[in-house]
Structure 1
């Protein structure tokens, strides 16, 4: 069976899980192709799904949904009845209704969704001083990923003929979720910047940016394009890009969520069938 894994991974968490998932699919006898859809350029190219019998989509959770640019890109695809699965990485807060809303999009695009999964991963805002899910994903999450592949593969080959069952929905309208997504900028108050300092101009920040927001020459992110994914910060080999210190907002976030670092780390990755 030929399987295609398409993932969006600004800071590397979703890519890390893609590798674990790929290895397990290979172990069960699949031929696997992976494609990183993070960069703006990658999503301008047409994806030919014809050679593949099944597709996996991976993405982080941005305020209870897949990132906006990923949602928009999914709406350009035509599944032509192919079976697919989704998986998400998140930093311990507010995962639902990501599974439900993404399945809705994929079904509208003529995919048949057989399963989904979520994996605990270090939070993007740890780059600014948060301490959410340090050290994740770890062996616990990798074990769940392997189980996820086994159960998903069984559905891909019709050993298990079921499709994905009921998922947690939300009463929040899309407009409210859109506003919540914008709330990331209440925490990230200083967009990525070099602060006037020089760098080696490797252009990696421009290559990985999902929206073309960062320009290496100016060393500044465009407020109108930036989605606060911090791909440029995470991937800069010189660590030349800076954001504001978010450490003061971390205890406030824990209080709001009625959580502790210990309780967060006790959370487990999950599979949905």
Structure 2
């Protein structure tokens, strides 16, 4: 695609709305923004990881198109993201969704996000999925370590260009239909309750002293962390581990689940090497 920035042409306005607990999704959002800047595109990033930001309103009429970026938790976008989307009106805007995931359980995510976005009056023109270090690596797993890496970021650049072409096309071309999953959303809702059944000790600092910078509490996507006590509310914690990833002193942790790693690989009939070889993908 040629750079069409010319005098007198209005910039194409795009907003990138994303949820990123441990930084994987943000990395892809940054690549998309940087690639869009090579063209005549004005870009706004809007991070909905924190509750206060999800309570802010967005007027999609101010933008020509939308990128959404979500991690995959329990086979779908996180519940807090889906609930946020349920409150939005797409105003017939063209959009695209990119997911990040740790090498396991991603297939239904595309189907269900397309269904939800169309229900909210968005037109989905493409999706993509990118490998990212699994959240549970903070507890002892070794899934997709070091991802997203250079190959994933290159796919992100290609994804941006292909999606921008569809955003700007005269005719609307929507993403291919995804195969309907064998399990309904209601079944996934039940499974979602057990997302962190292996995590028997949710993020805590076990009474250790810290500088009380309050970042863990301020950044918690569900307002679950009590920084002073150094523990989370188990009723609302979604095991995103943003608190652990953002702790400047590294004192927050969960129980060690390293002994479940081999069982997880066997359950999915895969190996660490096979996960390491997995590639990010674009769907048009």
Q: Please say if 1:201 is aligned against 2:212.
A: yes
Correspondence 1:17 to 2:22:
no
TM-score by length of 1: 0.97
- In 2, the alpha carbon distance for the partners of 1:111 and 1:268 equals 28
Secondary structure of the 2:243 match is helix
Matched, 1:233 2:244: yes
Q: SS state of the match for residue 264, structure 2?
A: helix
- Partners of 1:137 and 1:102 in 2: how far apart? 22
**Tell me, what secondary structure is at the counterpart of 2:182?**
coil
1:185 aligns with one of 159, 183, 196: 196
Q: Following TM superposition, by how much is the alpha carbon of 1:159 offset from its aligned partner in structure 2, in angstroms?
A: 5.6
Q: What runs of 5+ residues in structure 1 fail to find an aligned partner? A: none
Partner of 2:169: 158
Distance in 2 (CA, whole Å) between partners of 1:14 and 1:144 is 14
Offset at residue 168 of structure 1 (A): 2.9
Structure 1 residues 160 and 20, CA gap change in structure 2 (3 angstroms): farther
> Which deviates further from its counterpart, 155-164 or 52-61?
155-164
* Count of residue pairs the alignment pairs up: 273
Q: Give 3-state SS (helix, strand or coil) of 1:117's partner.
A: strand
How far does residue 246 in structure 1 lie from its aligned partner after superposition? 1.0
Matches for 1:71-220 after TM superposition, within 5 Å: 71-158=82-169, 161-220=172-231
Aligned-CA RMSD value: 1.1
Match in the other structure for 2:3: none
Given the two structures, how large is their TM-score scaled by the length of structure 2?
A: 0.94
Q: Structure 2 unaligned segments of length 5 or more: list them.
A: 1-11
* 1:206 Cα offset (Å): 1.3
TM-fit CA distance, 1:183: 2.3
Deviation of 1:229 (Å): 0.6
1:44 Cα deviation after fit: 1.1
